Structures are given as structure tokens and as C-alpha cells.
Amino acid sequence: MGIISRENMNGKKVLIMIGRREERVRKAEEMVEKAMKSQDASHDASHALRVELAALFHDIADYKYIRDPSEEKIVENFLNEEGVEENIKSKILKIIKGMGFKEEVNGNGNTECFPEFGVVQDADRLDAIGAIGIARCFTFGGSRKRLLHDPAILPRSDLSKEQYMNSEQQTTINHFHEKLLKVKDMMKTKAGQRRAERRHKFMEEFVKEFYDEWNGLS
């Protein structure tokens, strides 16, 4: 446990007791701000803050889970209430709005790819492929009661954004063809591209083995 001093809404200093996790986050933020103070604006502390906040918030307004249209404003309202600087707020909202696969499903990539966008998007997409990505795919398919596979239901090609968002009748294995096996070639950063290679190969092997077992060949 620790104690920090903060200003309340009236501008008065108050003492706040925080847990170990919150204290570590606070110390990490202070260290980043100090260490990056001399760096140019492309990789300064504000850059790190934009990446951090965008990463934390990126799935809050995911269209697959929204029940109330007002939920789309949760992040923007929070940033306004916290008085986040306009340039930081603007980039965070652009990242959240534009990073989804549905935004470039038909090959039209995001035209405003600034560094923070690529970092957050690549990190999110790396978690969607490889071993964990496979586990997540089948977990989501199960939650939507999708079939594992049906040879009569073929993967869709040349998907539009609207078609991709309307995927309730698709099978879980088709999601690999319609999205997951395309992710490798859509990475924005060099680091993301390197990591995606190995995970992509693992998925290819998995899909081949899946079909072999389904067809009694393995």
C-alpha cells in the first residue's frame, strides 16, 4: 500500500491511499515521463500515454458486444471528464475507431496510420492469431453457438464491411479463412510482422490438421 497526493475538483490537495498495483502503475508512468522527457515528439511520454490508454480502451465499444448505443461514448466521455489533452484524446479515439479488422476487411487499409495506431493494432491482432488466437476463436464461436465446421458452408471471399459484421451463419473454422489467416499480411510494424510469421505458420498447421482429422485422414 502507498499514499499519494492529488488535487481534487476544487484544486485542494488530498491524500489518497492506493494499492500495490496502482502504485506500480503510477511509478511506471513517472519513470516513463522522466526517461522520455528529452525525446522528440514522435516517441515522447505522450506517445506512450496514447498507446497505453488506447490499448486499455480499444474493446470497450466493440460492436459485437454493444447493447446500448450510448456505450459507444463511454471512452470519449471518460477522456473529457479526466481533462485529457485534446491531441491525446483525438489520437486515442482514432485508434479505437479505426483499428478493427472490419475497417480494412476489403483491402482498404486505414489511411491515417500514425505510430501509436500501428502499435496498438498489431498488439491486438497478434493476440488474435497463434495458439491463443485459436483458443479465442473457438471460445467466441462457442459463445455464439456456431458450428465447428460444415463442408456445405464455404468461406466467403471479397467480404464487405457489412458482410463481415453479419457473420452469425458462418462456422468457426471459416473464420480462419475470412480473417485470421489474413492478419499476417496486415501488420503495421516490423516487430509485429516478425512475430506474426511464427503464429501464422502455427495456424496453417492447425487448420490442415483440423481438416485431416475431420475427413478421417489423420
Q: What is the CATH number of the domain that holds 139?
A: 1.20.58.1910
pLDDT, residue 167, reads 76
Domain count, the chain: 2
Same domain, residue pair 124 and 215? yes
Across residues 73-100, what is the average pLDDT? 86
**Any idea of the CA torsion for 80, 188, 41, 60, to the nearest 10 degrees?**
10
**Residue 205: inside a domain:** yes
Q: 3-class DSSP state for residue 177? A: helix
50 vs 114, more confident: 114
**Residue 9: inside a domain:** no
Question: Of 61-65, 160-164, 203-207, which has the strongest mean pLDDT?
Answer: 203-207
Same domain, residue pair 104 and 207? yes
95, burial (CB in 10 Å: exposed 0-12, middle 13-18, buried 19+): buried
pLDDT, residue 8, reads 43
32 vs 142, more confident: 142
Of 72, 97, 122, the domain-final residue: 97
**Residue 5: inside a domain:** no
Same domain, residue pair 111 and 178? yes
Of 40, 74, 97, the domain-final residue: 97
Percent of the chain residues past pLDDT 70, beyond the cut: 72
Across residues 163-176, what is the average pLDDT? 88
pLDDT score of 37 more than 80: no
Q: Are 199 and 185 in contact (CB under 8 A)?
A: no
Same domain, residue pair 108 and 47? no
Percent of the chain residues past pLDDT 90, beyond the cut: 37
Of 66, 97, 128, the domain-final residue: 97
**Residue 179: inside a domain:** yes
pLDDT, residue 28, reads 60
Same domain, residue pair 121 and 211? yes
Across residues 156-168, what is the average pLDDT? 83
Residue 43 — pLDDT band, cuts 50, 70, 90? low
Same domain, residue pair 148 and 79? no
Same domain, residue pair 122 and 158? yes
Same domain, residue pair 117 and 68? no
d(CA 174, CA 217): 20
Q: Which domain holds residue 92?
A: 14-97
Same domain, residue pair 105 and 68? no
Same domain, residue pair 169 and 143? yes
**Residue 6: inside a domain:** no
Same domain, residue pair 178 and 212? yes
Residue type, 142: G
Same domain, residue pair 66 and 137? no
pLDDT score of 173 more than 50: yes
89 vs 213, more confident: 213
Kindly report the length of the chain: 218
d(CA 173, CA 208): 11
